[in-house]
Amino acid sequence: MNDQYSNFRGFAIIPLPAFRDNYLWLLRRGDDAAVVDPGDAAVVEDYLAQHGLELRAILLTHHHPDHIGGVAELVAHRNIPVYGPAAAGIHETNRPVAEGDEVVLEQLGIRFHVLEVPGHTATHVAYFAPGILFPGDTLFSAGCGRLLGGTAAQLHHSLGRLAALPGETAVYCTHEYTLANLAFAHAAEPENRERDAWEAECRALRDAGRPTLPSTIERERRINPFLRTTETAIVGTAAAHSGKRPETSEECFAALRAWKDVF
């Protein structure tokens, strides 16, 4: 799974599995690399050493330990930029970012736009460049993050922002939650042929030992119940589960998120 996985404008995007279900995404162009949310330093160091790479930058989406736990070790003997949400107060961050900022990785030839996407946490950010998105724990394939510091209203708004990105945008989520999320998606929207086709594809990928990621924004619009909170079928199942019919998309989202928490 650690071989070159996908290409974007001349650089490789490689999933480094960590812990039980995390992916640390490593961007590589030639001998230069950057990594997103390195919760485990050893996984990153092993890959860098194996392939003779120089780590040039670290990008952080939020403060949870499985996303930042390896940073201190990675920067102990390196003088490199560590980008992270300014409001999160992550100690190792030396390049704090906020909404509208840009992150320029010159060696990799890419410029990311910073999007503030609170909800999972109150200070979460995502990194977007045309064609690519690192959403942290805000958006998963067929799912979204739990509310661990933010509010349902915040997360609903943040997901709406991500759903409005171009459909071809590749979404590099940070956890292998897809099959579990698809089980809930089936409960929330029993009839969705595109979702069922994606589930079959994902099962084949996992059987082959491959990630189900990246997804795309267009696919998520079509199969992710948390992005489909105006669909009649989903409003109906949310109402049936909660005992109260949602009056707005935001209310439907909150009902779905509460349901998923106990699913």
Can 261 be counted among the known catalytic residues?
no
Annotated catalytic residue: which of 32, 37, 63, 67?
67
Can 91 be counted among the known catalytic residues?
no
Can 186 be counted among the known catalytic residues?
no
Q: In whole angstroms, what is the distance from residue 52 CA to residue 5 CA?
A: 18
Annotated catalytic residue: which of 63, 120, 124, 156?
120
Annotated catalytic residue: which of 32, 37, 40, 62?
62
Please tell me what DSSP assigns to residue 84. Answer: E
Q: In whole angstroms, what is the distance from residue 131 CA to residue 125 CA?
A: 17
| Alpha helix ranges (H) inside the chain | 41-51, 65-68, 71-75, 152-163, 178-188, 193-207, 217-223, 232-242, 249-261
Can 62 be counted among the known catalytic residues?
yes
Annotated catalytic residue: which of 40, 66, 124, 156?
66
The token pair at 110 is 């890419």
Annotated catalytic residue: which of 63, 124, 156, 175?
175
Annotated catalytic residue: which of 32, 37, 40, 137?
137
C-alpha to C-alpha distances, 145 to 26, 121, 148, 232, nearest whole angstrom? 22, 9, 8, 23
Can 66 be counted among the known catalytic residues?
yes
Catalytically active residues are: 62, 64, 66-67, 120, 137, 175
